[in-house]
Amino acid sequence: MSPLDPTADVVALTAALVDIPSESRHEAEIADAVEAVLREAPHLDVVRDGHTLVARTQLGRDSRVVIAGHLDTVPANDNFPSRLDGDVLWGLGSCDMLGGVAVALRAAFHLSAPVRDVTYVFYEAEEIEATANGLGRLARTRPELLDGEFAILMEPSNGVIEAGCQGSLRVDVVARGERAHAARSWMGDNAVHRLAPALQRLVDHRPRTPVIDGLTYHEGINAVGVSGGVASNVIPDEARLSVNYRFAPDRSEQEALAYLHTLFDGYDVVVTDSSPGALPGLDRPAAAAFVEAMGVEVNPKFGWTDVAQFSLLGVPAVNFGPGDPLLAHKKDEHVPVAQLRAVEQRLHAWLSGEGEQP
């Protein structure tokens, strides 16, 4: 029997989810609880893969939508368990993203005859390294479970639509010189000093602001660290400038890397981490119909989210969930009760076909 009551309202269900410890790599308990709810719904086919759950309707509808949310949280920071204070629910994961999970879980349990077939995905390990990500594992090993015309990721978006996402590329820009005694520095070649032109190129750089599907994405290339040095009396022979490039989704990872090679011509550029962006896909009929039905503001997503996993599968995807993304991972993480209810009402109405032509 699940400790979760899917007949409770979305606020109470969010609080119950928050009250189950679910730090990354420790999702067994929350996955068990969610699985028990899903298996109580006879209209769902349920598959479990590790601590990742996939529940699908099989109604023979003309289209299928995928609705996904991650079960894990970052470590607690004196913000566990949940606390309801007036119109705000406080607690670890309330914003990122157990409020969105509650919305999706109630839809999965209650909507037995949606106008679209629906695949619900509740997955593990989003908050840690990409190799552990449950959604990514499904995309690599069982992509057929993620088939759909359109996907909605219940990431916090302040109750509006954030379309696509930017890619993220991290590199080390490497300068090399020659060691020498600091008392005879002219006998060597200071690698740290050789980074000065690279830093100046970043200072002078003007970021791109491409418009994609009517949305303006704002790129950024920034130094995020400098390392080098051997000892206080040695001229260093190697130094590294760590750079993070947040690139718009009209560039592939390969194109983004080529751009950095051009920008840092004359240096070695070593990739340390790379994740693709995701095009908003708002020109696709399913995505356009969802945007019209929601009737909310549409913004570009500047951070990286798992919509990129769907983009790699050719499935357009948006972020749409309760909670302010700026509160994710913060000690004072919380979600407005009104936003939980508004997101649920809009999503459930769309899945039920309310207001659509028969």
Q: Which pLDDT tens digit goes with each residue over 62-82?
A: 999 999 999 999 999 999 999
DSSP string, 126-158: -SS-GGG-HHHHHHHH-GGGG--SEEEE----T
Q: What is the pLDDT of residue 227?
A: 97
Edge to edge, the sheet with strand 167-176 lists 220-228, 238-247, 167-176, 268-275
pTM: 0.87
Q: List all residues 6 or more positions away from 296 whose beta carbon is below 8 Å from its beta carbon.
A: 159, 160, 161, 346
Q: Which residues pair with 193 in a beta bridge?
A: none
Q: Are strands 88-90 and 334-336 parallel, antiparallel or unpaired?
A: antiparallel
Q: Identify the CATH assignment for 10-165+278-352 out of 3.40.50.1820, 3.40.190.290, 3.40.109.10, 3.40.630.10.
A: 3.40.630.10
- Is 126 a catalytic site residue? yes
What's the pLDDT tens digit per position in 202-247? 999 999 999 998 999 999 999 999 999 999 999 999 999 999 999 9
Domains 10-165+278-352 and 167-275 share a fold: no
Q: Does domain 167-275 have CATH number 3.30.70.360?
A: yes
Question: Helix H segments across the chain?
Answer: 10-18, 28-39, 99-110, 134-141, 191-194, 196-204, 253-263, 285-294, 307-312, 337-352
Q: Which of 72, 127, 162, 324 is catalytic?
A: 72
Q: What is the pLDDT of residue 257?
A: 98
CA separation for the pair 20, 240 (Å, rounded): 42
Instruction: Chunk the chain into consecutive blocks of 10 residues (it has 358) and report each block's average pLDDT, rounded to whole numbers.
Output: 88 97 97 98 98 98 96 95 96 96 98 96 93 94 95 96 94 97 95 98 97 94 96 96 96 97 98 91 87 93 90 91 93 96 96 69
Residue ranges of the domains in the chain? 10-165+278-352, 167-275
CA dist 7 and 41 (Å) reads 12
pLDDT of res. 3: 86
Which residue's entry shows tokens 């302040």? Answer: 158
* The pLDDT value given to residue 45: 98
- Tokens representing 90 are 């406080």
Burial group, residue 281, by CB count within 10 angstroms (0-12, 13-18, 19+): buried
Active site residue 49: no
Catalytic residue among 19, 27, 124, 126: 126
Q: What is the mean pLDDT of the chain?
A: 94
Q: Tell me the torsion sign for CA atoms 245, 251, 252, 256.
A: negative
